Amino acid sequence: MLTNGPNSKTEERKVKETQTKQTSICQQKVSPAGHQTLRKTCHSLRNFIDDQTTLDPKLSNLYFIFDLDHITLTLYSEKFDNATKFTYQEAGNDTKLIYEKDEKNHEKIIKDISYIDLFCQDFELLTKNSKSIPYMSLNFLTDALPEKLSKKLQKILKSQNFRTEVLSFEVNGSSQIYSFLQCFDSNFLKTLYISDSNKSDWTLHECLHIDLLEETVKLEQWKKLETVVIHCYTVKKPERFSHVKEGFASFMTIRMEDVEVLKESFLHSPSFSSMELKYNHMQDQPQIFRFLGEHCWIDDRGTWNHRRWFFRMPNPEDGVLSVEVNPNYVIFKSLKWEEVPVGAIVKE
C-alpha cells in the first residue's frame, strides 16, 4: 500500500513503470490470441493493457476479406517484414480466432463474444494510434454483409480518419462502394480501384455491369479522386471520369458525345495524364472521326490501324493531348512535344 508522504509519488511512479514493463513483456511474449484471453480476464486489466498501446504501429496496408461467417484482417507494417493475419470465425456464441505469422498458425476460442464484435474491437484497438494507413483494400465475398458489421465498421473508419491515399474495392454490388467510400477523408484519398470479388481473369464480353449510384458520384471523395481504375465491370456515363488525372474503365458503348466531353475536359486539365476507355461497341464512329477532324496519324503497325489525333494544349508548355481510336479502346493521353510522332499534325 502506498503511504501519504514525500516518497508516495516516487513509489507510485515506480509501480507504474514496473506495470508498463510487465505489460510490454506480455505483449512481446504472448500471441494476439493469448492477448485476447488476458484482456478478457477482468475489466481493469483489459483497460490497462489497452492503455499501453500508445505508439503509432506505422501500418502501411490493411486488407479485409468479408465472408458469410468470418472476417479476415491482414496487416502490413513498416516495422515488420512479414504480414500479420487474423481470421475471426463464427463459432456459435463464441469466436474462433486464428492468428497467422511467419507461416505459423495459432488458434484460440474466445468465449462469449461474437466474431463481429471481436473483430471490431481488435480493429479499433490495433489501429487507434495510427496516424495514417496509406493503402486499404476491402474484399466483399458476399453481398449480404450483416448490418451490424457494416454500421460498426463504418463508424470506426469515419472516427479514426486514417488519411488513406489508395482504396481498393473487390465487390458484388455498387451499394458497398457507396457505403464505404464516404468513410474516407476526401482530402487524402487520391486513388480508387474497383473490381469483381469473384473474378481474377476477365474479358469485356464476360464483364458484369455495375451501376455507380448517383449518390456515389456526388460524393466529395469521388469528385476529388485523381486516379480511378475499374476492372471486371462495365459502367455507364464516361463523363463521370472527366475529372481524373489517370484512369481505366470499360463501357458497352462509346458515343460521340462521350468523346467530345472527355476531350474538352482533358484538354483543359494541366495535370491530366491518361485515360483508357475500353468498349464493346462504338456508336457513331463516322461522326466521331468527323468530330476529331482531318489529318489523323495512322499507326499501321500490328493487326489493326490505330488512328491518332493530336491537339495543342491551351498552354503550350503543357504539351499535347493525344486521342487514339482503335477497335477496342479510346485512349486519351498527355504527351510532351518530343513524344509526338514525326510527321504528325498537331491541331489547335
Could you please report the per-residue DSSP string of 101-159? ETTEEEEEEETT--HHHHHHHHHHHHHTT-S---EEEEEES-S---HHHHHHHHHHHHH
Per-residue pLDDT, 281: 82
Q: H or E element: which one contains 185?
A: none
What are the pLDDT digits (tens) for 158-203? 999 999 999 999 987 778 899 999 999 999 999 999 988 776 555 5
What are the pLDDT digits (tens) for 201-213? 555 445 566 767 6
Question: Quick check: 238 and 260 in contact, CB under 8 A?
Answer: no
Is residue 57 very low, low, confident or very high in pLDDT (cuts 50, 70, 90)? confident
What are the pLDDT digits (tens) for 224-281? 999 999 988 888 889 999 999 999 999 888 999 999 999 999 999 999 999 999 988 8
Whether 98 shows a pLDDT value over 60: the answer reads yes
For residues 348 and 338, give the distance between their C-alpha atoms in angstroms, rounded to a whole number: 17
Per the listing, cell 465487390 goes with: 171
Per-residue pLDDT, 50: 54
Q: H or E element: which one contains 254?
A: strand 246-254
Whether 74 shows a pLDDT value over 50: the answer reads yes
Q: Which 8-state DSSP code applies to residue 88?
A: E
Per-residue pLDDT, 205: 47
Residue type, 59: L
Low-confidence winner among 6-10, 312-316, 330-334, 336-340 (lowest mean pLDDT):
6-10
DSSP sequence for 193-236: EEEETT-SS--GGGPEE----HHHHTSHHHHT-SEEEEEEEE-S
Per-residue pLDDT, 199: 64
For residues 231 and 249, give the distance between their C-alpha atoms in angstroms, rounded to a whole number: 7
SS3 content of the chain, % helix, strand, coil (to 5): 35, 30, 35
Per-residue pLDDT, 2: 42
For residues 60 and 135, give the distance between their C-alpha atoms in angstroms, rounded to a whole number: 6
Please state, rounded to an integer, the average pLDDT across all residues of the chain.
83
Whether 43 shows a pLDDT value over 60: the answer reads no
Per-residue pLDDT, 174: 74
Please give the model's pTM, rounded to 2 decimal places.
0.82
Whether 144 shows a pLDDT value over 70: the answer reads yes
Whether 10 shows a pLDDT value over 50: the answer reads yes
Whether 305 shows a pLDDT value over 90: the answer reads no
Residue type, 329: Y
Per-residue pLDDT, 47: 52
Kind of pairing, strands 274-282 and 70-77? unpaired
CA dihedral (31, 34, 36, 41) in degrees, to 10, reads: -150
Residue type, 183: C
Q: What mean pLDDT do residues 65-81 have?
A: 87
Per-residue pLDDT, 103: 77
Angle at 53 between CA 30 and CA 113, to 5 degrees: 65
Angle of the 147-160 helix axis to the 174-181 helix axis, nearest 10:
40
Whether 348 shows a pLDDT value over 50: the answer reads yes
Is residue 14 very low, low, confident or very high in pLDDT (cuts 50, 70, 90)? low
- As a whole-number percent, the residues of the chain with pLDDT over 90 amount to 50
Output the nine-digit C-alpha cell for 246: 489517370
Whether 338 shows a pLDDT value over 90: the answer reads yes
Whether 73 shows a pLDDT value over 80: the answer reads yes
Angle at 267 between CA 343 and CA 333, to 5 degrees: 60
